[in-house]
Structure 1
Amino acid sequence: MVTLTQRLLFVLSFISCIAISMSMRHNTPIPPTTARLTDRFPRLVFDGAFSDLFGGQNIKKTSNGSQVSLMLDKTSGSGFKSNDAYYYGFFSAAIKLPMDYSAGVVVAFYMSNSEAYPKNHDEIDFELLGHEKRKEWALQTNVYGDGSTGIGREEKFFLWFDPTADFHEYSLIWNQHHIVFLVDNLPVREVNHSVAMARAYPSKPMSIYSTIWDGSQWATHGGKKPVNYKFGPFVASFKNFLVAGCAWNQTKAAPSCTRSGQSGRLALDPIEGDEFVKLSADQQRGMEWVRSKFMFYSYCNDLSRFPVLPPECKEGKQ
């Protein structure tokens, strides 16, 4: 007699076989499975958490404010920013990119404090760079600390999915231990708060930004492919905003927040648990899968640009 458990296992096995078969048929890589950190936090509605930054006429809010579209046309790009600045935490948004020819277009989801600290700002960047074919969008990550813009710490990846067909999650972990860039909960890059990175590690409260803009001068093949507005307007959509950060009280020299379950105890890190301090074995394997198959540029491998590599590269942890 077949038990209910056996039936469920058979169904799950059958579904898995279908998924693998479809992936092989369409030559779509299957990423490793990792913990879904984005399921741990409540979603925010745009209004109340974010405000228009520029290009107001090119910002459209739908689904009762839970989804926002940013448009780039001949008149302007557009963008929004968080109403608060945050210190450490988990920050995420689901993004769907413009379809068709998009060379020169840049869609960014990032954290920065350049407005508050114009001479020594910090920044953590996701930048999605358009291309001639819709499936060839490139993902660029970057980190600046204390105005260290003289060293661009870029790493670039191709994506293992079509980012124009559906929404995908782009997330950041930022705490005193490390910065982790994740795509659909899969780590693609880890920047450790090491001795070598101490001065260049982001250390001041940052706001969250999302923008779409004309990066013709550099974004595609070093500026060889400018934006062609015949294919515009270019629209990027955002939803599933997650912010689990320590909001900065600007009347104080530094932010503070209380850990859940520890009433009265102040701490700078609003996210708890080993999974936010160190990558798990599954996350490490997932990151190695991405970097071995899809990373096509790392500043730590660019000897023509850096005859003497930045000190953190020598640690082999970037």
Structure 2
Amino acid sequence: MAISMSAFVGLFVGLVLVGLVSSAKFDELFQPSWALDHFGYEGELLKLKLDNYSGAGFQSKSKYMFGKVTVQIKLVEGDSAGTVTAFYMSSDGPNHNEFDFEFLGNTTGEPYTVQTNVYVNGVGNREQRLNLWFDPAKDFHSYTIFWNQRQVVFMVDETPIRVHTNMENKGLPFPKDQAMGVYSSIWNADDWATQGGLVKTDWSHAPFFATYRNFEIDACECPVSLAAVDNAKKCSSSAEKRYWWDEPTLSELNLHQSHQLMWVRANHMVYDYCADTARFPVAPVECVHHRH
């Protein structure tokens, strides 16, 4: 049987590159972290409930360094003003690193806003906001965080919406030395979430549900017993092992992805901290150097 060169290369790469490939089942990768009575299960679907008593949240059973985490979410339908559904990665401690997706609820008919943020060594204030090109409450869509030693990429249905590039050569710290857990939650944030807090949660529409399926983690698992420096070494490619996320083709966006990101920024971005001269009279250093 003839086999094409591309198929052969793909087969070869699949054999030599390692990672942790997950099942899509919630309970193999995650566990509830608070408000267990606000969790609902319908077959393969997980529903988190927000009412005027409580929201709910879950977290991964392990921590990871480098790789990709993806979940499919159907956001709160109808009038979701005041609610926030978050999907994020974070390490522990005051000098933590964190990569955030926060979905800010809306009044009926208004677009959902997605806020992303990046914390490095405990410092955030890197918010970007965009309106999605679809209604995320009508169906499931994939939300992905990809992370290696060169970049952090936020993706929606495989379309990159944000890139945070390693600029250590400019003297800027990059999050590459702390193992991170994966988290998600829904809660009431009507002091800021919708139109800056002007629109409050209408509890007559409660309960609110965020629905999840297809949990995937393809990343380097970090034992809690290992020191950070040992995890960093364990999760980096070497002569003995090659991790897929360290492949040269993943050190930056490809041309198609770069065009996708430009399209998202031009057509859907509604706020960029780099352009907020009221908050930052002097542009943050990474904004000056950042290509995206």
The TM-score bracket by the shorter chain reads 0.7 to 0.9
Alignment of 1:112-151 (within 5 A): 112-113=90-91, 116-117=92-93, 119-149=94-124
> For structure 2, which runs of at least 5 residues remain unmatched after alignment?
1-19
- Contact in 2 for aligned 1:197/1:312 (Cα 8 Å): no
Partner of 2:63: 85
Quote the offset at 1:287 in angstroms. 0.8
- Contact in 2 for aligned 1:135/1:164 (Cα 8 Å): no
Where has structure 1 moved over 6 Å in runs of 4 or more?
A: none
Matched, 1:48 2:28: yes
Higher relative contact order at CA 8 Å, sep ≥6: structure 1 or structure 2?
2
Distance 1:275 1:72, change over 3 A: farther
- The structure 2 residue matched to 1:251, chosen from 208, 212, 225, is 225
- Contact in 1 for aligned 2:86/2:103 (Cα 8 Å): yes
- Contact in 1 for aligned 2:75/2:137 (Cα 8 Å): yes
Quote the offset at 1:250 in angstroms. 1.5
Alignment of 1:71-82 (within 5 A): 71-82=49-60
Residue type at the aligned position of 1:131:
N
Alignment of 1:1-318 (within 5 A): 43-63=23-43, 66-113=44-91, 116-117=92-93, 119-149=94-124, 152-195=125-168, 196=170, 198-199=172-173, 201=175, 203-254=177-228, 255=231, 257=234, 265=240, 271-318=245-292
SS in 2 for 1:219: coil
SS in 2 for 1:198: coil
- Aligned mates of 2:257, 2:23 — CA distance in 1: 23
Distance 1:57 1:82, change over 3 A: same
- Contact in 2 for aligned 1:104/1:215 (Cα 8 Å): yes
- Contact in 2 for aligned 1:44/1:242 (Cα 8 Å): yes
- Contact in 2 for aligned 1:123/1:202 (Cα 8 Å): no
- Aligned mates of 2:58, 2:171 — CA distance in 1: 30
> For structure 1, which runs of at least 5 residues remain unmatched after alignment?
1-39
Larger radius of gyration: 1
Q: How many pairs align?
A: 269
SS in 2 for 1:212: strand
- Contact in 1 for aligned 2:56/2:186 (Cα 8 Å): yes
- Aligned mates of 1:55, 1:258 — CA distance in 2: 33
Quote the offset at 1:252 in angstroms. 1.4
- Aligned mates of 1:298, 1:272 — CA distance in 2: 29
Residue type at the aligned position of 2:65:
Y
- Aligned mates of 1:147, 1:75 — CA distance in 2: 30
- Aligned mates of 1:204, 1:41 — CA distance in 2: 21
Aligned-residue CA RMSD (Å):
2.1
- Aligned mates of 1:147, 1:266 — CA distance in 2: 32
Aligned sequence identity (%): 35
Distance 1:222 1:135, change over 3 A: closer
- Contact in 2 for aligned 1:87/1:247 (Cα 8 Å): yes
- Aligned mates of 1:132, 1:197 — CA distance in 2: 43
